[in-house]
């Protein structure tokens, strides 16, 4: 059987994006917070670590690399804090992941939202400049639905309503801000931008089906409007999982209840989907995937260092191909290895062994 050669993300053997921060980088970030090194010294350490991790990804056989999210403390909040009209604030509690609590920082509206001069554009420019020409550099950012969701939490909705009493105005401004950032990233040389989005996961965990459908409609609208404002040549993908913090999770349930909206109505080109445990449900919802879209099956967990059984992974790929043509499937990790500064409970050696295995399995299944 012959397959189409993948020339853009996701590739046959791929990863979501974030990587375990090396100890030297974590030490530098701690020193900066304590005031013992300058912002310039921290940036120099980040630059060094990113250059090294790009090469490690290339050496592992990946055809698409990122900066590992090495400049971030949080996969989503650092991006949101870079938008105009969004401020950082201290909450009473962080998010709860299977019994543990994250740092109690949050994002809230302080004025009208905008996307000019986002620092992630400069971050990507650096990544692109240090990526080999025959390798794709992608930028990961949290999705617009994630921002909408975060601005409607119990601790943030009052501030949101003070500036945006009408949700439609908020949706439009979020889309304009994302359109600006996506355009700026494209102009900086980005060919793929990945929208990471855990907001959908809340809809999988026992939410009333009618209510889940209404919320899903909002997520579709804010995402699609954002995508429409981006350059048409930009490859926009999305990642969905059920939480990833220090190897913990916050949601369970399959994609069934919102499958049509997520897989058919959402105007993205590809999905990186969590499928590493029973919590994610079966592959049946993938039958709603609209024509031409690609799915990177997240069959390799980043929550433990134990390597998956290769034949079992191949069998699951075969099972998924009953609902999506094998040519439209790829293999990836279920999530990043370190969605925040605190990595999952595995070592850097474990991480690279998993990535190497993914690349090898992909070559065995698809020949690339």
CA–CA separation, 167 vs 292, rounded Å? Answer: 32
What angle in degrees, to the nearest 10, is found between the helix axes of 39-59 and 119-129? Answer: 50
The answer to whether residue 1 sits within a structural domain is no
Render pLDDT for 28-47 as a digit per residue (tens, 0 to 9): 999 999 999 999 999 999 99
The answer to whether residue 14 sits within a structural domain is no
For residues 278 and 130, which has the higher predicted lDDT (pLDDT)?
130
Could you give phi then psi for residue 311, rounded to 5 degrees? -65, -35
Mark 45-71 as b/e (b = at least 16 C-beta within 10 Å).
bbeebbebbbebbeebebbbbbbbbbb
The answer to whether residue 12 sits within a structural domain is no
| The pLDDT of residue 344 | 78
The answer to whether residue 3 sits within a structural domain is no
| The pLDDT of residue 129 | 98
Lowest mean pLDDT among 180-184, 224-228, 292-296, 342-346: 342-346
Q: What is the DSSP letter of 248?
A: B
| The pLDDT of residue 99 | 61
CATH number at residue 146: 3.20.20.210
Q: What predicted TM-score, i.e. pTM, was given to this entire model?
A: 0.94
What is the SS3 assignment for 139? strand
Residue 220 has pLDDT above 80, yes or no: yes
The answer to whether residue 8 sits within a structural domain is no
Render pLDDT for 205-215 as a digit per residue (tens, 0 to 9): 778 889 999 99
Residue 246 has pLDDT above 60, yes or no: no
| The pLDDT of residue 98 | 57
Residue 278 has pLDDT above 70, yes or no: yes
The answer to whether residue 18 sits within a structural domain is no
| The pLDDT of residue 94 | 60
CA-CA distances (angstroms) from residue 243 to 89, 305, 315? 22, 18, 25
Mean residue pLDDT of the chain comes to 93
% the chain with pLDDT above 90: 84
The answer to whether residue 362 sits within a structural domain is yes
CA–CA separation, 166 vs 54, rounded Å? Answer: 43
Residue 245 has pLDDT above 70, yes or no: no
pLDDT band at 95 (very low <50, low <70, confident <90, very high): low
| The pLDDT of residue 24 | 97
CA–CA separation, 119 vs 125, rounded Å? Answer: 10
Helical spans, DSSP H, in 82-166? 119-129, 144-150, 157-163
In this structure, the number of other CB atoms found within 10 A of the CB of residue 362 comes to 22
Could you give phi then psi for residue 240, rounded to 5 degrees? -130, 130
| The pLDDT of residue 206 | 73
pLDDT band at 250 (very low <50, low <70, confident <90, very high): low
Helices vs strands, H then E, count in the chain: 11, 11
What is the SS3 assignment for 89? strand
Residue 21 has pLDDT above 60, yes or no: yes
The answer to whether residue 272 sits within a structural domain is yes
pLDDT band at 253 (very low <50, low <70, confident <90, very high): confident
Residue spans of beta strands (DSSP E) within 91-226: 96-97, 100-101, 105-114, 136-142, 192-197
261, 285 in Cβ contact below 8 A?
no
CA–CA separation, 45 vs 225, rounded Å? Answer: 37
Range of the domain at 308: 23-366
Q: Which residue has the tokens 């920082």?
A: 105
The count of structural domains within the chain is 1
Q: Which residue has the tokens 């220090």?
A: 246
| The pLDDT of residue 279 | 81
């Amino acid at each position: 059987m012959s397959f189409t050669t993948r020339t853009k993300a996701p590739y046959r053997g791929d990863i979501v994006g974030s990587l375990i921060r090396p100890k030297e980088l974590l030490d530098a970030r701690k020193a900066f917070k304590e005031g013992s090194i300058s912002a310039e010294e921290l940036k120099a350490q980040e630059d060094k670590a990113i250059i090294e991790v790009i090469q490690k990804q290339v050496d592992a056989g990946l055809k698409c690399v990122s900066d590992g999210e090495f400049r971030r403390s949080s996969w989503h909040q650092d991006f949101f804090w870079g938008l105009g009209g969004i401020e950082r604030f201290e909450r009473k509690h962080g998010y709860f992941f299977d019994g543990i609590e994250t740092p109690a920082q949050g994002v809230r509206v302080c004025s009208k939202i905008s996307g000019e001069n986002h620092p992630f554009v400069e971050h990507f420019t650096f990544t692109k400049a240090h990526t080999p020409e025959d390798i794709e550099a992608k930028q990961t950012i949290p999705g617009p639905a994630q921002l909408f969701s975060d601005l409607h939490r119990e601790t943030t909705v009052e501030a949101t309503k003070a500036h945006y009493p009408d949700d439609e105005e908020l949706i439009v401004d979020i889309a304009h801000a994302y359109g600006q950032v996506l355009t700026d990233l494209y102009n900086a040389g980005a060919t793929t931008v990945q929208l990471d989005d855990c907001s959908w996961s809340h809809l999988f965990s026992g939410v009333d089906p009618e209510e889940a459908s209404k919320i899903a409609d909002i997520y579709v609208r804010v995402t699609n409007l954002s995508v429409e404002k981006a350059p048409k040549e930009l490859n926009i993908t999305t990642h969905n999982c059920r939480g990833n913090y220090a190897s913990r999770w916050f949601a369970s349930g399959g994609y069934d209840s919102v499958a049509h909206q997520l897989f058919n109505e959402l105007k993205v080109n590809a999905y990186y989907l969590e499928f590493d445990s029973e919590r994610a449900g079966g592959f049946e919802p993938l039958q709603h995937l609209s024509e031409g879209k690609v799915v990177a099956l997240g069959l390799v967990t980043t929550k433990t260092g134990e390597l998956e059984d290769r034949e079992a992974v191949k069998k699951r790929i075969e099972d998924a191909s009953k609902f999506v043509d094998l040519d439209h499937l790829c293999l990836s990790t279920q999530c990043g290895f370190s969605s925040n500064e605190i990595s999952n409970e595995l070592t850097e050696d474990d991480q690279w062994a998993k990535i190497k295995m993914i690349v090898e399995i992909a070559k065995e299944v698809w020949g690339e």
